[in-house]
Amino acid sequence: MIRGVRGAITINQDTAEEIVSASEKLLRNVIDTNKIKPEEVTSVFISVTDDVTAAFPARALRLIDGWTHVPVMCMKEIPVPDSLPLCIRVMMHVHTEQTQSEITHVYLEGAKSLRPDLSVKG
């Protein structure tokens, strides 16, 4: 079964260092919390709000050992008025036997407000 594993994080400012650092924190948290191995991942989609432009968050995935060949794509979120600014979101498509309710979605920093019902401490 392929399941989606979600996560999001906010940054304080649009700099390459902060984008890559926050993205790495988010990705490692999603991977570790759900015990995901790279060979179980079909693809990773990373989206950003319009105000995140200084770097590709996908660079962070390449900093994690074993994730070199996992397909990853960055894209823009729909610019909905009054939506959460400076936000990076991730969706991993993972082969797993876990049920949807057993998946742990990870929302960090200001992104906890997106899904307080699913947020984990981190």
Name the active-site residue from 3, 28, 59, 115.
115
Nearest to 21 by CA among 4, 37, 3, 9: 9
Name the active-site residue from 3, 28, 59, 77.
77
Name the active-site residue from 24, 87, 107, 109.
107
Name the active-site residue from 62, 87, 97, 102.
62
Q: Are 63 and 27 in contact (CB under 8 A)?
A: no
What DSSP element (H or E) covers 6? strand 2-10
Q: Is 77 a catalytic residue?
A: yes
Q: Is 6 a catalytic residue?
A: yes
Q: Is 40 a catalytic residue?
A: no
Nearest to 4 by CA among 97, 105, 87: 105
Q: Is 115 a catalytic residue?
A: yes
Name the active-site residue from 3, 6, 28, 59.
6
Which pair of structure tokens corresponds to residue 82?
């009054």
Name the active-site residue from 24, 87, 89, 109.
89
Active site residues: 6, 62, 74, 77, 89, 107, 115
